[in-house]
Amino acid sequence: MAQIRPCADLRNNYNEISKICHETNEPVYITKNGYSDLVILSNSTYENLTKKLLKSEEERIDKLISQKFDSHYSDFEEFKKDFYSKIDQALKEVADGKCRPFKEFCAEMEEKYDFLQ
C-alpha cells in the first residue's frame, strides 16, 4: 500500500522512511504544503526498475529494427547482396572523382540546415 508522508518526516523520521522503502520495495510519496513533491525508492528498487525500463526499451528497438529489416529484405543474403552493391557503387564514384571532402560536405549541411557550430 502506498505510503504518503509530509516532507517534515524526511528530517524527523528518515530512518523509518528508509526502512519502509527497503522492506516493502515500494515508493514513499512525500508531500510539501499538501501537494505531491517527491517519490523515494530504495537504491535496489530504483536500479531494478531502471534495468526493467532499459530492457523494455531495448526490446522495443530490436523489434522495430527487425520489422524494418524484414519489410525490406527476405533474408540476410539479400541484405548482404544489396549492402555490397552499394559499397561497390560508392567505391566506383570515388574512383571516378564523384566525391568531395567530408569537411566540405559538413560545412554545406551546417549552412543549409542552420546548425550551430
pLDDT at 108 > cutoff 80? yes
Residue 117 has pLDDT above 60, yes or no: no
pLDDT at 33: 95
Q: What CATH architecture does domain 3-41 belong to?
A: 3-Layer(aba) Sandwich (3.40)
Per-residue pLDDT tens over the stretch 34-90? 999 999 999 999 999 999 999 999 999 999 999 988 888 888 999 999 999 999 999
pLDDT at residue 64, as a whole number = 93
What are the sequence ranges of the domains in the chain?
Answer: 3-41, 75-117
pLDDT category, 115, cuts 50, 70, 90? low
User: Distance between CA atoms of 79 and 70, rounded to whole angstroms?
Assistant: 10
* Spatial separation of the C-alpha atoms in residues 68 and 75, rounded to whole Å: 12
Radius of gyration of the chain (CA): 27
**Bridge partners (DSSP) listed for residue 3:** 28
Q: How far is residue 73's CA from residue 75's CA, in Å, rounded to a whole number? A: 5
CB of 73 closer than 8 Å to CB of 85: no
* Mean pLDDT along residues 101-110: 90
Q: Is a pLDDT exceeding 60 seen at residue 1?
A: yes
Q: Report the distance separating Cα 75 and Cα 69, nearest Å.
A: 9
Residue at 37: amino acid letter: D
- Mean pLDDT for the chain overall: 93
38 sits in which H/E element: strand 35-40
Query: What predicted TM-score, i.e. pTM, was given to this entire model?
Result: 0.57
